[in-house]
Amino acid sequence: MSRDPAAPGPPTRWPFRRIAFALSVTAFGAGIPTPLYPIYAARYHLTTAVLAGVFGAYTVGVLVTMLLVAPLSDLVGRKPVLYLGLGLTAASAVAWIFASGVLPLALARAISGLGVGATTSTATASMTGLEPHGDQHHVARVSVAANFGGVASGILLAGLLAQYTASPTVLVFLVLIGASAIGMAAVAATPETVPPRTPRPRVRVQRLFVPDAVRLPFWVAAGALAGCYSVYGLFAALAPTFVRTDLGVGNRAESAAVVAALFGAAALVQLALGQVRDRRALLVGLPMLLAGTAIDVVAIDLASLPGLLAGAVLLGTGVGFAYMGSVTLIDRTAPGAVRGEILSAFFVVGYLALAVPTIGIGLAADRVGLGAAAAAFSVGLGAFAAALFLATLRTPTPAGGEGRPRGSS
């Protein structure tokens, strides 16, 4: 829900930045478990498939709150939903600290997903109302950068603590609890952008709908999002295990750095090159996904950590462009009357792509090895990116459609 252009906005961007920080906290929590998966695998004798399943529980949590809770922010106000998301993020940290087996680990991951699902779209909507110049492209850039940057920070800090401290599965989650408390304070210090309505609304499942008129740009954008999220899932769930077992790199900070490089590159793209958007960003990002997967296939075959790192950086850059391109393409072509339904369908496709390929790779890895499964996935992703690039060439650059207008850049 965008801010009324006739209404005076906040005089500075500090309220906007406080909500961006709250958004980054939930993303930070989502990234923390990545370097810890090999520790849990050794502690509880988990297979690669089981690790992938634990990661997949995150998607279940995200979809539940994204479809049930986040839409309520238009009715009850943004701040109550943000408090809930940050509270769930802190609760996930407690669950991780006391997790003692597969099911508790999956529960902790699911609670983390609940926090992310409640926070992500709500924070972005709140930032739209708090951006003092009504610059919606700036909102998109910062929200995406906060997401990817938060994930990268969580992975990197967890990797450092896992390598250099005696209690890696406790300390980093204590940091997360503290960050969640600071995030709540930041939300409390920020004005509400949507006054609550009375009577209180009932919880309803968000409808998914895509009009025929926007089917082509929708599926191009959703396909690009699926490609981005499948890369996200592979690296976040399984890359540290591959680096440790197949490449023989015992330093957990180094394996975390490989994954963090991908998310860090995606975040930096938003801040440095955010003026390339919609279809044009896809035409830049998709070839990078193709090239990055090719480099990683070679790196996996040669068991080369520098090669894997180079592929991760290129993939992250491609993800940054493709993600921004897919989000802005949807933003500019979705008719306002059904925009919520279209966005929900868009993100459902993305989060399914986050979990399903990752679980499939985990199952295959227990049969043929993680390296072979990851290489096969990379080849498939490269072919998918090439096909999507051709489809993007057939998609006209939108003039704005009936969706939200661009703000000043």
pLDDT tens digits, residue range 53-64?
Answer: 999 999 999 999
Domain containing residue 95: 11-194
Q: In this structure, are 225 and 341 located in the same domain?
A: yes
Does residue 95 fall inside a structural domain?
A: yes
Q: In this structure, are 141 and 106 located in the same domain?
A: yes
In the predicted model, is pLDDT for residue 351 greater than 70? yes
Q: In this structure, are 169 and 278 located in the same domain?
A: no
* Structure tokens belonging to residue 335: 């008719």
Q: In this structure, are 212 and 137 located in the same domain?
A: no
Instruction: Give the chain's domain count.
Output: 2
Q: In this structure, are 235 and 171 located in the same domain?
A: no
Backbone angles phi, psi at 70, to 5 degrees: -55, -40
Calpha distance 205→370 (Å, rounded) = 37
Does residue 96 fall inside a structural domain?
A: yes
Q: In this structure, are 105 and 220 located in the same domain?
A: no
Average pLDDT over every residue of 233-252: 90
Does residue 409 fall inside a structural domain?
A: no
Q: In this structure, are 253 and 306 located in the same domain?
A: yes
- For the chain, the average pLDDT equals 88
Listed in sequence order, the residues at least 6 apart from 297 whose beta carbon sits closer than 8 Å to its beta carbon are 375, 378, 379, 382
- CATH number, domain of 27, equals 1.20.1250.20
Kindly report the number of other CB atoms within 10 A of residue 352's CB atom.
Answer: 15
In the predicted model, is pLDDT for residue 70 greater than 90? no
Q: In this structure, are 64 and 158 located in the same domain?
A: yes
393 class by beta-carbon count within 10 Å (0-12 exposed, 13-18 middle, 19+ buried)? exposed
Phi-psi region of 371 (alpha: psi -120 to 50; beta: other; left: phi over 0): alpha
Domain boundary among 138, 166, 194: 194
Does residue 383 fall inside a structural domain?
A: yes
Contact 258, 309 (CB under 8 A): yes
Phi-psi region of 367 (alpha: psi -120 to 50; beta: other; left: phi over 0): alpha
Q: In this structure, are 183 and 226 located in the same domain?
A: no
Maximum alpha-carbon separation in the chain: 63
Give the model confidence (pLDDT) of 24-37 as tens digits.
Answer: 999 999 999 999 99
Does residue 3 fall inside a structural domain?
A: no
Average pLDDT over every residue of 212-228: 91
pLDDT bin (cut points 50, 70, 90) of residue 175 is: very high
Q: In this structure, are 84 and 189 located in the same domain?
A: yes
Does residue 309 fall inside a structural domain?
A: yes
Q: What is the pLDDT of residue 202?
A: 67
Q: In this structure, are 307 and 174 located in the same domain?
A: no
Q: What is the pLDDT of residue 343?
A: 82
Domain boundary among 194, 223, 256: 194
pTM over 0.85: yes
Does residue 405 fall inside a structural domain?
A: no
In the predicted model, is pLDDT for residue 239 greater than 80? yes
Domain boundary among 133, 166, 194: 194
Which of 99, 82, 114, 98 has its CA nearest to residue 46?
99
What is the percent of the chain with per-residue pLDDT over 70, rounded to a whole number?
A: 92
Does residue 238 fall inside a structural domain?
A: yes
Q: In this structure, are 88 and 164 located in the same domain?
A: yes
In the predicted model, is pLDDT for residue 406 greater than 50? no
